[in-house]
Amino acid sequence: MKTHTDYNLGIIPLLKLKLHTMLDIQKIREDPEGVLARLRCRDPSLSLDRLLKFDSKRRELIRRVESLRHELNRGSEEVAKLQRHGKKEEAQGLIARLRELSAEIKALERELGEAEAGLREELLSLPNLPHESVPMGPDKVVLREWGEKPEFDFEPKNHVELGRSLGIFDFERAAKIAAARFPLYCGLGALLELSLLQWMFELHVREHGYIPILPPILANRRSFEVSGQLPKFADELYYCPDDGLFLNPTAESLLANLHRDEILEEEALPLRYVAYTPCFRREAGTWGESQRGLIRMHQFNKVELFHYTTPERSYAELDELISNAEVVLQCLGLHYRVTLLPADDLAHQSAKTVDIEAWLPAQGRYYEVSSCSNCEDFQARRGNIRFRPKEGGKPRFVHTLNGSGLATSRLFAAILEQNQQADGSVTLPEVLAQRVGIDVLRCTTSGELRRGSR
């Protein structure tokens, strides 16, 4: 015989589901027009109509299920009472009604599940709200420059031409092995690439106090939902369907999951991590002549910086993150500028982004070599990453920040182009010269490298 508890199975989990995995639903309910206005600074086509309909339907279904559940529980208790007093016929009549209630609840549960799924999909598709200091566009704002633009009394060569004559990378053989837009560093080019990575990694650990991490370069779907790449940008990711794993497009995606489903102590914050990974991006689309070589590739190496902090400190942390990334360019003696991105250029997960752009003389333009972002609690909500306030109270969501510290590809191009000489040689920055034991990259008429003097 069924007891009253048998009629309640499957109801409680749905009612306990918390929508903390994306933008704050309470904020949207309280001010839908204000939230929409901020979102449309990023994308004028965005709408909250479907989201609000799913949310309204979900809350109404929860009320109906809870009401029927209450009726079911009271009826179940009455059945037990009737049976104890030997009133079997009355009990049987009431049991028939309870079965109808149970069936109705199960049908409503299915509707509730569909409403939950629809609401979650809508919330996951929305980008982060831009910070109030972010310009509404359309142009980025130049905040400052560092160093002087190098002046040449000859026509500066593109890094592709320089690299080919120096014999330090080979894009033709890379394409033969893989496809176009993949790199192949060779000879001193390979040594310089590794030296650059190791130097940057150690700089952030020893001088800036970051915790070193060497993470997996594959991650599951949940990890990319937390970081913000999924579900909207699935086409940009390399996917291994047999394993259900994605190749890392940026170590941000991995580091954003280090403390997933954890509660951190406020005393431990801020936590600052540095990671090295190769990065893989499909970069769908077409590119012009200006984006050949190391400018836009499917595979590149990157040192990534990632901060976990309190909401009150997150914008001070952003300033520090930017400063730490700038030190790399300053130590290399490269001219660069710092720019604030407008709302419609922000990454999906970012509330505010500041780019660091190195100067490439051959093209007469700047290219982004580091993008430093404050995601506020966007990723933390998706990953349920909170901290326990030291003064007590309920756990709160952390803020997460990320930035390249740096990616080597465009940085390598800037090193070659800004330090080139009239004879095709390249003078190396002192920090790299010390590591590889050579001051100047030169080439013979056969294109083979020879050592410069020290």
Looking at the annotation, which residues are catalytic? 281, 296, 368, 371, 410
Angstrom distance (rounded) from CA 47 to CA 253: 27
Distant-in-sequence, close-in-space partners of 159: CB < 8 Å, separation ≥ 6: 293, 294, 360, 362, 412, 413, 414, 416, 417
DSSP run (H or E) holding 20? none
- Asked whether 54 and 122 are in contact (CB, 8 A), the reply is yes
Q: What residues contact residue 92 under an 8 Å CB cut-off, 6+ apart?
A: none
What b/e sequence results for 248-286 when a residue is b if at least 16 CB atoms lie within 10 Å of its CB, and e otherwise? bbbbbbbbbbbbeeeebeeeebbbbbbbbbebbbbeeee
Q: CA torsion angle for 254, 256, 260, 265 (degrees, to 10)?
A: 130
Task: Name the amino acid, one letter, at 217.
Answer: I
Closest CA to 370 of 344, 397, 339, 333: 339
Fill in the DSSP letter of residue 352.
E
Residue 185 has what DSSP assignment?
B
CA dist., res. 233 & res. 210, Å (int): 29
Q: Packing angle between helix 408-418 and helix 159-166, nearest 10 degrees? A: 80
Q: What's at 155, amino acid-wise?
A: E
Strand 211-213 relative to strand 271-280: parallel, antiparallel, unpaired? parallel
CB 306 within 8 A of CB 251: yes
The sheet carrying 245-247 orders its strands as: 218-220, 245-247, 239-240
Task: Give the Cβ contact number of residue 401 at 10 Å.
Answer: 28
**Is 370 within 8 Å of 382 (Cβ atoms)?**
no
Burial status of residue 124 (CB atoms within 10 A of its CB: 0-12, 13-18, 19 or more): middle
Rounded distance, CA 298 to CA 87, Å?
Answer: 76
